[in-house]
Amino acid sequence: MVTCPPYQPRPSTRPGLGTFRRADCLRRRGRRVLRSLAPRSGSHPRTAPTTETGRETDLGGPGRCHRTPQLGAVGRLAVQAQVSFPVRYVETDAQGVVYYANHFAWFELGYEALLGLAGHHAPHGRPTVREACCRYRAPIRYGEIVTVESRALAGEAEGLWVAHTIRVGRELRAEGTTLLAGELPPATWNVVPERPASCFEEWSTLAPRGRVEEVTVRVRFAETEPTGAAHFCRYLGWLEVGRIAYLRRLGLDYARLQRLGSPFVIAWAGCRYLKPVAFDEPVRIQVWIEEVRSRSYVAGYRLLHGERGEPIAVGKTVQAFIDQEGRPTRIPEAARERLLAAHQGCESSGPPVVLRAPEAASGC
């Protein structure tokens, strides 16, 4: 009987063949996951091969580590970061779901982890958020474990686009983008060759129209960050202040809608940040109706400095009307007439609109 020697695979002769490296490290507290992906050569036509391996680096604190990629002269890495944590009770609102502005704060956790993988840490300077938007697909409740996944999209002269997804298990609950500017690390990763469809393309021409209502607030100390300016996610709270006041002046009592179990919920929100605003400075919130649909309406916002009058930010939100089971349904005709009149610049008249709880719809 003839015995054959054990098979030994021949080494690859392909030049620049990279290796796939990935590390998943879980924190005992907070369940924080940071992941670095290095695709194989040829897996993407625009992805350069990885030329060196990674090494473990301690970030400080028990159980907190990630794999720091070692980059060669021509090697680059496509970077992706994940952060997982349980929803805190303070992050939920009166409806028992996560308040819509907190999604923007979670985006911050994602892009900070992403920049950390590139060797850029908060003590060395923070980026400035120029734009942020979020599409809300399903509510998130207290105690659920959410995972925020962030990846770099195409960079441009104005900054770096970062795409975010928020999941509970495998279910997608929200997604959005942020545009970062300021002190950013060198572009040592291969960004995905795509630019998100900017939600703010028309914002250079966004201006009040129809019936415009204005509310003035002052920046509270709790809304500021260590830079002295208001944190970017706090602007969403100001949009809510203006929106609720606008509905009240139209005769639409949001509290009554909420008691009926059928309020307007936020389906999409976005903001373009123009100027910072500091503690105790006045902010004028201008609100108007951009569009009225059968099941939703679009509100536009412009924030002005209360003393200097210069624009601080512009924003948009989409409010959808839902039934008692949380499914989209038509806006009651009485409320829709008020919204259409405001959109057209007409003064609504008559007593406040009394809405009945809508019947459950057969489908979305």
Specify the pLDDT at position 77.
Answer: 43
CATH number of 213-343: 3.10.129.10
Contact 124, 118 (CB under 8 A): no
The CA distance from 168 to 166, in Å, is 7
Sketch the domain layout of the chain as residue ranges.
25-182, 213-343
Pairing of strands 282-292, 213-218: antiparallel
Q: What does the pLDDT look like over 306-342, one tens digit per residue?
A: 999 999 999 999 999 988 788 888 998 888 999 999 9
The CA distance from 294 to 92, in Å, is 28
Q: Which residue has the tokens 């100027």?
A: 275
Specify the pLDDT at position 307.
Answer: 94
The CA distance from 258 to 353, in Å, is 14
Give the CB-side neighbour count of residue 298, counting CA atoms within 13 A: 11
The CA distance from 296 to 136, in Å, is 14
Query: Does the domain at residues 25-182 carry the CATH identifier 3.40.190.10?
Result: no
| Phi (first) and psi of residue 106, to 5 degrees | -70, -35
**Domain 25-182 matches domain 213-343 at the CATH topology level:** yes
The CA distance from 93 to 18, in Å, is 48
The CA distance from 329 to 18, in Å, is 52
pLDDT of the chain, 364 residues: tens digit per residue? 545 555 454 544 444 433 333 333 333 333 333 333 333 333 333 333 332 333 333 333 333 333 333 322 223 445 789 999 999 999 999 888 999 999 999 999 999 998 888 776 655 568 899 999 999 999 999 999 999 999 988 666 778 889 999 999 999 999 999 999 887 765 545 555 555 655 556 677 778 999 999 999 999 999 999 999 999 999 999 999 999 999 999 988 877 777 666 678 999 999 999 999 999 999 999 999 999 999 999 999 999 999 999 999 999 999 999 887 888 889 988 889 999 999 998 765 445 544 443 333 333 2
> Hey, which residues does 297 pair with through a beta bridge?
292, 319
DSSP state, residue 171: E
The model's pTM is 0.73
Pairing of strands 25-26, 33-34: antiparallel
What are 75's two structure tokens?
């090697």
Specify the pLDDT at position 261.
Answer: 62
